[in-house]
Structure formats: C-alpha cells, structure tokens
Copies of this chain bind each other. A is one copy, B any other.
C-alpha cells in the first residue's frame, strides 16, 4: 500500500519530510557514527539535538524566558497526577472543567490528591459542548483551574479561555498544541502528549511558569514526578526519551519552516471549514459537536446507523484513508486533521462524503 491519509487521533500523521529525514539519518546520524536510537544522552551530538528542540519550540510558541520547557514521559495521563502533586498541597481545593473523558480522568486523579471540584460538566449532553465558565463558578481558594483545551474524543475546543483572574490556569493542550496560536502567558502550566501534533508517542511536553517550580513537595511525591527536579536537570534527571525528542525537534523545525504556528492555524481552519461545510450540507452525515465549540483538530460526525457507518469507513479505507472510526466509547466517525494532514487528505474525505451520500460504495 502507498502512504495513506491517516486520520488517527494519535499517534497520528507526521510530516513526510520529517519521516524522510529520520530515515536518511537512521543508521548513522549526520556522521556521528551511530544512530540517534543508540546515542548517549550525555554526548555532544545529543545535547545539540535536545537544545535545538527546546530552542525551536520556544521560538514557534513564543515561550517567555520565565517559563520552563520540560521533556517528560508518561503522557498526559501522568500529568493528571503530576499537576496536583506539584501545584497543590495534599487536601487542597483544585477546580476542574469536565468537558470529556480525559478531562474527567484528570479530575479523578486530582481526587486522589485533594478536593478536586468539578466546576462544570457537559456529561449530560455527551460532552458535545464546552460549558461557559464564569469567575463566580471557581472555588475562591482553588490551587488552579484545569481545562482540556481540545477534546479529542468529542471534537470540541475552547474558542475563548475562561476568565480565571488570579487562579492559575492549567491546560491539557495535547491535541491542539502547535495547531493554533496560544499566548503562553495566559497559562500557569501547559502540558501535551507529543503523539498528535508534535511527534511520536512516548514524549510529553510541559511548559510552566518557573515561579511554580518548588522543592517543597509532599514526601510521597516520587522524584521522577517533581517538575523542579526535572527542570533543574534540564529534562535529564534520568535518561530522557531521546528519539522521540529528536523527532519532535524535526517537527518543530518543519512548523517553523512552513510558516510557523500562525500559518498552521490558518491551514487548519481552512481544512476544518472544508470538512464541516460538507457535513453541514449533508442530509446523511451529522456533525456531533455543538457548532460554536467545534474543534479544528478532531471532527466528530455520525451516520444514521452502524451499517452505513461501516460502509462509509470501508469506502474511505479503499480510497487510502484510515482510522476514521470514532473512539470506541462513542462510536460514529472522527477525522483527526492535525498539522501534518495535508489539505489534499481533507479534500479526498469531503469528496468521499459526497460520493457516499450519492450512493457510491466504491
């Protein structure tokens, strides 16, 4: 099979030039005599790789100097615990907005640590929308408000950040980081698993105010879960996920070379509009999320029944488009159209939606 358009929610498509670069340098990285897969993380060539990755990310996201950038492991799921353990005392109050499955998991992990308050939830409407948050809804003594910037499973995103005032805003940006412009200063802490818009699975990026780094943690907090220890060691408290950082660094360069995050956002909004317009024009397909909260990264949609869903997915696959099945917890279809998904992929999907509606099955 030729290379396909991979609509997977993550791990997901990487830019072809990045993959080709990785392939070219795989056995002998730029004359270093070894692969990045086997390179000591304390060697000069690797130090350059990780330093360049951080520097490029800082440039493309305009990360201020008073924010630390950490390359960690464990995915967003481990951040669900690191955030409370580092930003809240045991038993303290922490606010959570429940806008989907991962937001809810974050809240549940928060409850292991303290008084994790669900300030809002769209569960009763199957997380099809983003509840509006007002300042009055926040706990006065909350250590932070945790939101999920983009809800991968349900296909929603925050168009505007909630008005938090002095409450630190913590945000899971896993599925939208680098897909849209953000002002890092709006956040106390951002975290994101790499496997959607940044690189392969096995790497988590944390961007946080340096003023929040502290050694004054509860004694049960493992050293590996201390942001301060990771920051002090330049993400090398222990051996980092070297190869994933290397590939992410190449993706950061690709973003920069193709116009930066602003250009990504423009292309992403165009791709999303193309797809949502096709869904809205259809009598058969229906967008699953509230229009005003639609994600530009993950478009969720349904067909009238399972049989038609299956037939549509089969048609897509026959046309070289894979992983369009919705998350196993919700069914239906989902098209993840991250930065690396070319416009051509979305055009082919839109064409297939129209063909399917007109009865074409091959």
Contacts and interface: CB of A to CB of B under 8 A. Distances in A.
Contact residues of A: prevailing secondary structure: loop
A39 B23 CA distance: 16
B26 A38 contact: no
Interface size class on chain A is: 35 or more
Contacts of A137: none
A11 B239 contact: yes
A105 B222 CA distance: 11
A93 interface: no
A40 interface: yes
A276 interface: no
A254 interface: no
A28 B20 CA distance: 10
Contact of A73 (B14, B19, B74, B200): B74
Interface string A322-344: 11000010000000000010000
Interface in A197-223: 199-203, 219-223
B2 A33 contact: yes
Given A22-B37, A223-B77, A224-B74, A1 B32 contact: yes
A338 to B, nearest CB: 10
A3 B19 contact: no
A242 interface: yes
A41 B221 contact: no
A31 interface: yes
A150 to B, nearest CB: 16
A293 interface: no
A37 B19 contact: yes
A4 interface: yes
A35 B14 contact: yes
Interface string A10-45: 111110100110110011100111110111111100
A27 B23 contact: yes
A278 interface: no
A190 to B, nearest CB: 18
Given A6-B34, A200-B242, 14 more contacts: A1-B31, A6-B33, A11-B37, A11-B41, A11-B242, A12-B40, A37-B199, A75-B238, A77-B224, A81-B225, A109-B222, A113-B220, A241-B244, A243-B244
What 7 A-B pairs have minimum CB-CB distances, sorted nearest first? Answer: A202-B241, A81-B222, A4-B33, A23-B26, A77-B238, A73-B73, A8-B40
